[in-house]
Copies of this chain bind each other. A is one copy, B any other.
């Protein structure tokens, strides 16, 4: 096979992640590699921790990026906190709750499922009932922002309930961090993980996590060894922990961490409140355009994530053909449905640096153009004025 240097096409990324990466982040990524024990690198790590603490709104000493994608961040939370025989209540309302169940089982825990329909928020009443029925549960796990559906759950209320029953909490914020409010300390979340490639708009491959003292206490006092060497926080803390000697555990992904540092710096420069507002307003503009065309959201208004917009594919429309045309004709990526929703919905991301007015306009006009040409049953010529009205009022 003749192989040349790879020059990717330039896309606009409006799927469920990765999102558009800011040029500042790409530039940081390509700075000279230095050693993972270099004093200059260690100082960068300290800054990175502080920037992550800001993003998570926490003072947790153990706040760091796992050297692997979000699924490894999930695994870091579960493999450290679940001991064989532990009963773990898993709230499931989409694909990622199912992945949590897989995690619990693989580490010898006993999952108890609280199931809500895909597209709905997690029902606090159901969790309360389950906690009462399973008084011996040790952990409650939940997804804040379901990437498969675009539904947001009331993590603050769910965590409060879990604590009444003396359970630790694990919260998935892969799609929410930086895009919609998360307050780790105020909401008393015990263990949390996220991803670099969604609303932080860094390149994919890192998973920020944060553990409070209560969660760490459990990790330190486990009866059995953590069922992973790579993810064992008792070992990782020797490199990343507060006051740690920065002892070698594994070789940190040096350049990826430069990029995350830069992405988090951009977030701090903008400010969390402004970033959350921006995600909200651009979502309203996109929503106006989608609904004017006649497309419908699968999540009810109160529970919608601004950064992930799942809409039903109009009847008779060829899902894959539309996405291919958007990609080939406009270099625009939107997301397909996942799991039970495959073929039924599109997921339109407005995450991080992708959440810009120009992306909203491109997406709606490209969709209108392609769907119109394919003869789909949508309203033409009304989306643009509807969006403009919203954008002007922002």
Contacts and interface: CB of A to CB of B under 8 A. Distances in A.
- Listed from nearest, the 4 A-B pairs whose CB atoms lie closest are A205-B253, A30-B30, A68-B68, A71-B250
Given A5-B24, A29-B30, A107-B227, A204 B50 contact: no
Contacts of A6: 28, 31, 44, 47, 258, 261-262
Given A50-B3, A106-B228, A229-B71, A255 B29 contact: yes
Contacts of A103: 229
Contacts of A256: 203, 205, 253, 256
Interface in A164-221: 195, 197, 203-205
Contact of A18 (B4, B27, B254): B254
A198 to B, nearest CB: 9
Interface stretch (A9-17, A283-291, A302-310, A384-392): A9-17
A79 B38 CA distance: 32
Contacts of A27: 30
**Interface of chain A, helix or strand or loop or mixed?**
loop
A5 B265 contact: yes
A99 interface: yes
Contacts of A265: 3-5
B75 A254 contact: no
Given A21-B33, A26-B32, A32-B11, A1 B50 contact: yes
Contacts of A330: none
20 contacts: A1-B50, A3-B50, A6-B31, A6-B44, A6-B261, A8-B32, A8-B44, A8-B258, A9-B34, A13-B35, A15-B35, A18-B251, A20-B33, A26-B255, A29-B30, A68-B69, A103-B229, A203-B255, A204-B251, A253-B256
A393 interface: no
Interface of A: 1, 3-11, 13, 15, 17-18, 20-21, 24, 26-36, 38-41, 44, 47, 50-51, 67-72, 74-75, 79, 99, 102-103, 105-107, 195, 197, 203-205, 225-230, 248-256, 258-259, 261-262, 265, 268, 327, 333, 338
Contacts of A36: 18, 204
A48 to B, nearest CB: 9
Contact of A205 (B7, B31, B67, B227): B67
B70 A3 contact: no
A315 B281 CA distance: 67
B17 A251 contact: yes
Contacts of A4: 265
Tally of this chain's copies = 2
Contacts of A107: 227
A191 to B, nearest CB: 16
A230 B13 contact: no
Contact of A3 (B10, B51, B203, B338): B51
A102 B34 contact: no
A255 B67 CA distance: 14
A268 B105 CA distance: 43
Contact of A70 (B29, B227, B251): B251
Contacts of A1: 47, 50
Given A228-B106, A248-B338, A34 B5 contact: no
A338 to B, nearest CB: 7
Given A67-B205, A70-B250, 13 more contacts: A1-B47, A3-B265, A3-B268, A5-B262, A18-B254, A26-B32, A30-B30, A69-B252, A71-B230, A71-B250, A106-B228, A107-B227, A205-B252
